[in-house]
Amino acid sequence: MFEQVFFIFVAVVTLGFALIVVTNKNLFHAALALMGTFLGVAIIYVTLGAGFLAMAQLLVYIGAISILIIFAIMMTRHMMSAEEAAFNSQAGLSLFTAVAFFVLVAYVFISYWPTTPADAMLATMTPVDPAILENSVVALGQSFVSPNAYVLPFEVASVMLLAALVGSIFIAKPRLKEDEA
């Protein structure tokens, strides 16, 4: 009961922040609301018992990506008078895409989610073994480097990140002038 009330509260607040992100005319406020959205998602991860994922969400999305977005806003716009039009010509198309995606997700969930009533479902569910939760980080780390699990995607992702890193340095590098070259 309490979990459901809490979840609905967090979900409503998160969606409210998300709504502010797309409707607010002040870009800085929109970026702050984006942080609120990320925080809401992190709280949902915590309630699901995924502590590591929640902290990664905080560290990566709020601590790094949001700050990067704010820096980008401040460096590229007139920061103190950042009144932007909330919608541009792509608004209709975006709305269509978003609604279509939502319908797809809703269809998948309704089709494949267990449709037994909540009480019957609770009766058949087994509680999560506390030992699994306690060692979740160790299990995660081992599955990242285990040949039987995710070592290939993990390595591919790291190579891709390295390539992105080198590429961004190359783009940001000041061009040599003709006489210097």
Partner 1 sequence: MDIMELLRSLIELNLGEYLLSVGTATWIVDLIGVMTLATVCMILVIFLIWLERKVIARMQDRIGPNRVGGKYGLLQPVSDATKLLSKELITPAGADRIPYNLAPILIVVASLLTWAVIPVAPGVVGVDLNIGVFYILAISSVSVVTFLLAGWGSNNKYALLGAFRAVAQMVSYEVPMIVALLVPILLARSMSTVDIVEAQGIPFIIVVPLSALIFFISALAETGRTPFDLLEADSEIVAGFHIEYSGMKFAMFFLAEFLGTLFMSAFFVVIYLGGYRFFGLENLTIGHLHIGPLLGFIVFSTKVFLVYFVFIWIRATLPRVRVDQLLDFNWKFLVPLSLVLLLTVAVMDKLFLADANAVTKAAVLMVTNIVVGWVTIEILRWRDRDGETAVVPDVVDDAHEAVAAH
By CB under 8 A, is residue 37 in contact with partner 1?
no
Output the smallest distance, CB 159 to partner 1, in A: 17
CA distances, 100 to each of 14, 55, 95, 112 (Å): 21, 31, 8, 18
The residue within the footprint of partner 1, chosen from 25, 49, 63, 132 (CB under 8 A), is 63
Q: What is the distance in angstroms between the CA of the first residue and the CA of the last residue of the chain?
A: 70
Cβ proximity of 28 and 82 under 8 Å: yes
Determine the interface stretch with partner 1 among 5-13, 15-23, 65-73, 172-180 (rule: CB under 8 A): 65-73
Output the smallest distance, CB 134 to partner 1, in A: 6
By CB under 8 A, is residue 134 in contact with partner 1?
yes
DSSP string, 44-90: HHHHTT-HHHHHHIIIIIIIIIIHHHHHHHHHHS-GGG-B--S--TT
Q: Where does this chain bind partner 1 (CB under 8 A)?
A: 28-29, 32, 35, 51-52, 55-56, 58-59, 62-64, 66-67, 70-71, 74, 79-80, 134-137
